[in-house]
Amino acid sequence: MKRLLSASMTVLSFWAIGYPAFAQADAVQAELTKGATYAQAGNLDAAEKAFQKAYDGASAINDQGKLCQAALQLGIIKTSLHKNADAEKCFQTGLQIAKSVMPANSPFSALTMSLLADLYLTENRPSDALPLYEAAIPNLPTAQPSLAAEKTVNLAQCYARLDKMDSAEKTFEKGIALLTSIIGPDNVETVAATVNFASFQFQRGNDEKALELAQQVLSSKVENKGLKSVANNVLAHVYDRQEKFGKAMHIAQGSLNEYKASKSTDLVKEADGWLLIGRIYKDGHKYRDAEVAIDKGLELLKGFPDNTDYSDALREKSDLFIQQGQYKKAETLANQSKSLREKYLGADHTDVAQNLADLGYIYQQENKYNDAETSYKNALRIYKKTRGEAHPDYVATLTKLAELYRQMGKKPEAESTPAVTQSPPDKITHGDKWCLCVGISNFKDTSINLKYSAKDATDFRDFLIAKGNFKPDHVKLLVDESATRQNLIDQLGDGWLANHVKPDDLVMVYISSHGSQALDEANANLNFLVTYDTNKNSLLATGIPMQWLSKIIKDQVKSQNTVIMLDVCHSGSAADWSDDATGSVTIASSGTSGDKGLQRILTSDPHSIVPSAGQVILCSSTKNQQSWESQEYPNSVFTKRLIDALNSSGSGTKLGEAFSVLKTNVEGEVLRDRKQLQTPQINGNAKGSLISPLSDAH
């Protein structure tokens, strides 16, 4: 979740600080004293009842002094019980009375304003909290100098949530310096401020500083499990962003287990723990585990639907669906999250821009181009206002808008049109069109999971139906558990294609998965396609030979026009699920993340496949290269640029033309972003380059 830690709101012991000398009423005073005793003992339910009696009693006798005391103390208890709407009414009542009987800049009024500001910050309403803190801090009681320092840290959090990052950093530093000088570095309030500063540094992208501050909290002498749990969560978020998933999960699960063992009833904090685990699973390509964890967090937050924690959780699950190509589900959740954020943060908040950028991408994939353009432009407007044109979020959204314009045929001025090699004037006609799309992200052996493979296949299927003149029932999608070895064989054969395809029909087979060699098991230099249920240690028995893939299409499908597209790769790294903390290694890892192979576990060379007559085979890279995922969008570079290239000159684009565009764009993007070479390959019947795969002409 974006917000790692809410404000460390001090429960002010007003009964210890003392109130102005209001008139006494014995019965009401007795309930106030009783409530204070219960509160100090941690019996919040009993304290709430006592303060409520005091509040009602003071109202009945119109004792404004006692009513003010009861309102503020009742508000503190209700805040602790997450009854925020009731707490807000109590604080507003207290503030109204305080302002009516004493100067607006009095210490007591300042204390009251700071309580209401703390509540607003807890609810992630920084625009409401900011003016209250700014008015209160200069007038807080001088007898408690640490109070002003603590509220200065809370003010810094307001600046951060309002995207005033430079002001936030300076204010954090000022508040922590004050706390350190007044109460020392190992006081609980100083440590709380430090962990909030660590959270801020993570949000700003300063991972090393965030790690340093979090470690400082963990090594402090303060024995506060709550603060150290938050520091651990900062570490987990940093390791997750650095794609050190094993280390991140070890910390996140440990924190959640410790929290649950404490038998705390704070469901929001428990939900945050589950959502953090869900994010790590999602980022580490374990989508099923991610959905289970995120759903647990959402279930806990259902009791608090009108807050931004719930909106963050909805956005987390929406992003999970985006990564799997489930755009309808993602759209619904993104809109729900956006509505909540607009309600509580305002229509021009950065979090709303995040939702708008998500919706722009979703609409783009659903071919709702006008809606996508509007969403992207609104996101850019907000990002420009809150973060500036140099901020990575603005640049990323602008890149997505440029990609949309290319997809719509509107060429941005800043980007030249790639040269297209002219094909001979001849063309090959075909009958009906069929495509089997296969993509596996979640394997039975989760140690070889991939990130975007299932989504790539889904996006390619959707593109063929929306733009390629393919009939919906002529495109079959196999993802994850449906892409078993036997089912893939069946769908290529009598289970589907072989029973429908005529010799002059066009057949396309798209596969995004691992490709590998089993050098120790076979001497025939066979290459294997890894299916959902493949055993990586027994490829000969459980994989599908790629050479056989082209043969079964020739022997069983009998099409004279076949295009096989393989988004697989030679080598690289898996998601890093190693755990340095325990010494155990769940998944081997090496090299740079973002590619599809499993170095030292699987290797591949799909380019040795010999196409049969009438077949063309497109591969994502040469045998000595990696196939990369994009840094700009949630797809592999090959698949996204394949979609663009097939439609580069409309539905009449010939395969040879498309490959020329594809090769240029993939090489250029990967070289620019990864400083590596990735060169798509084409092999097969020369006449196949004259096929127009998207054309419905016969």
Query: If DSSP states are collapsed to H, E and C, what string results for 311-330?
Result: HHHHHHHHHHHHHCCCHHHH
Give dist(CA 607, CA 628) in Å, integer. 17
Take residue 179 and report the two structure tokens written for it. 């706390």
If DSSP codes are grouped into helix, strand and coil, which group holds residue 436? Answer: strand
What mean pLDDT do residues 20-26 have? Answer: 52
pLDDT band at 606 (very low <50, low <70, confident <90, very high): low
Phi, psi of 432 (to 5 degrees): -75, 170
Let me know: does 461 contact 435? Beta carbons within 8 Å.
yes
Q: E-strand spans in 340-496?
A: 433-439, 475-479
Residues pairing with 516 in the sheet: 528
pLDDT tens figures, 381-427: 998 887 778 777 888 899 889 888 877 877 654 343 333 333 344 55
pLDDT band at 54 (very low <50, low <70, confident <90, very high): very high
347 is a domain residue: no
Identity of residue 174: K
Predicted local distance difference test score (pLDDT) of residue 584: 37
Let me know: does 278 contact 245? Beta carbons within 8 Å.
no
Give dist(CA 459, CA 644) in Å, integer. 12
Query: Does position 478 have pLDDT exceeding 90, yes or no?
Result: yes
Give dist(CA 186, CA 220) in Å, integer. 6
What count of Cα atoms within 13 Å lies in the side-chain half-sphere of residue 139? 17
pLDDT tens figures, 427-446: 556 789 999 999 999 999 98
Domain that holds residue 538: 433-690
Q: What is the pTM of this model?
A: 0.69
* Count of the separate structural domains present in the chain: 1
Torsion, Cα 296 300 304 310, to 10 degrees, reads -20
Predicted local distance difference test score (pLDDT) of residue 20: 46
Let me know: does 636 contact 456? Beta carbons within 8 Å.
yes
Query: Does position 587 have pLDDT exceeding 90, yes or no?
Result: no
* Pick from 3-17, 568-582, 627-641: least confident: 3-17
507 is a domain residue: yes
What mean pLDDT do residues 158-186 have? Answer: 92
Query: Does position 136 have pLDDT exceeding 50, yes or no?
Result: yes
Let me know: does 315 contact 335? Beta carbons within 8 Å.
no
pLDDT band at 674 (very low <50, low <70, confident <90, very high): confident
Give dist(CA 297, CA 294) in Å, integer. 5
Give dist(CA 426, CA 684) in Å, integer. 18
Transcribe 95-148 into DSSP letters.
HHHHHHHS-TTSHHHHHHHHHHHHHHHHTT-HHHHHHHHHHHGGGS-TT-HHHH
pLDDT band at 609 (very low <50, low <70, confident <90, very high): low
What mean pLDDT do residues 63-80 have? Answer: 89
Predicted local distance difference test score (pLDDT) of residue 518: 52
pLDDT tens figures, 304-327: 776 678 999 999 999 999 988 899
Alpha helices in 504-545 (DSSP H): 539-542
* Pick from 17-31, 353-367, 494-508, 584-598: least confident: 584-598
From residue 251, alpha-carbon distances to 8, 125, 142, 279 in Å are 22, 30, 41, 13
Phi, psi of 639 (to 5 degrees): -65, -45
How far does Cα 682 stand from its chain's mean position? Answer: 35
Query: Does position 9 have pLDDT exceeding 70, yes or no?
Result: no
Let me know: does 154 contact 118? Beta carbons within 8 Å.
yes
Q: Which strand (E) or helix (H) includes residue 152?
A: helix 145-161
Question: How long is the chain?
Answer: 698
Let me know: does 279 contact 240? Beta carbons within 8 Å.
yes
Predicted local distance difference test score (pLDDT) of residue 411: 60
Identity of residue 685: N
Which of 517-526, 643-652, 678-687 is modeled with the greatest confidence? 643-652
Predicted local distance difference test score (pLDDT) of residue 487: 94
Give dist(CA 477, CA 457) in Å, integer. 7
pLDDT tens figures, 83-133: 888 999 999 999 999 888 887 788 888 988 999 999 988 876 888 999 999
**Left if phi > 0, otherwise alpha if psi is -120 to 50, otherwise beta: which for 650?**
left
Give dist(CA 94, CA 70) in Å, integer. 8
97 is a domain residue: no
564: nearest Cα among 527, 514, 614? 614
**Left if phi > 0, otherwise alpha if psi is -120 to 50, otherwise beta: which for 51?**
alpha
195: nearest Cα among 166, 157, 162? 157
Identity of residue 203: Q
What percent of the chain is helix, strand and coil (3-state, nearest 5)? 60, 10, 35
Cβ neighbours of 294 (radius 10 Å): 24
pLDDT band at 465 (very low <50, low <70, confident <90, very high): very high
Query: Given the DSSP bridges, would you call strands 506-512 and 527-529 parallel, antiparallel or unpaired?
Result: unpaired
CATH value at residue 586: 3.40.50.1460
Let me know: does 50 contact 28? Beta carbons within 8 Å.
no
Predicted local distance difference test score (pLDDT) of residue 419: 34
What count of Cα atoms within 13 Å lies in the side-chain half-sphere of residue 87? 22
Question: Both ends of the chain: CA-CA distance in Å?
Answer: 52
pLDDT band at 698 (very low <50, low <70, confident <90, very high): very low
498 is a domain residue: yes
Predicted local distance difference test score (pLDDT) of residue 224: 85
Place of tokens 């060429």: 411
Report, in angstroms and rounded to the nearest whole number, the Rg of the chain calculated over CA atoms: 30
Angle at CA of residue 200, ends 377 and 214, nearest 5°: 145
Query: Does position 165 have pLDDT exceeding 90, yes or no?
Result: no
DSSP conformation class of 536: T
Transcribe 203-260 into DSSP letters.
HTT-HHHHHHHHHHHHTSS---HHHHHHHHHHHHHHHHHTTBHHHHHHHHHHHHHHHH
* 525 vs 177: which has the higher pLDDT: 177
Predicted local distance difference test score (pLDDT) of residue 23: 46
* Pick from 371-375, 487-491, 595-599, 678-682: least confident: 595-599
Q: What is the mean pLDDT of the chain?
A: 83
Place of tokens 């640490």: 146
Percent of the chain with pLDDT over 90: 45
pLDDT band at 332 (very low <50, low <70, confident <90, very high): very high
What count of Cα atoms within 13 Å lies in the side-chain half-sphere of residue 663? 16
173 is a domain residue: no
Residues pairing with 615 in the sheet: 562
Query: Does position 44 have pLDDT exceeding 80, yes or no?
Result: yes
Give dist(CA 575, CA 201) in Å, integer. 25
What mean pLDDT do residues 615-634 have? Answer: 84
Give dist(CA 292, CA 336) in Å, integer. 20
If DSSP codes are grouped into helix, strand and coil, which group holds residue 515? Answer: strand
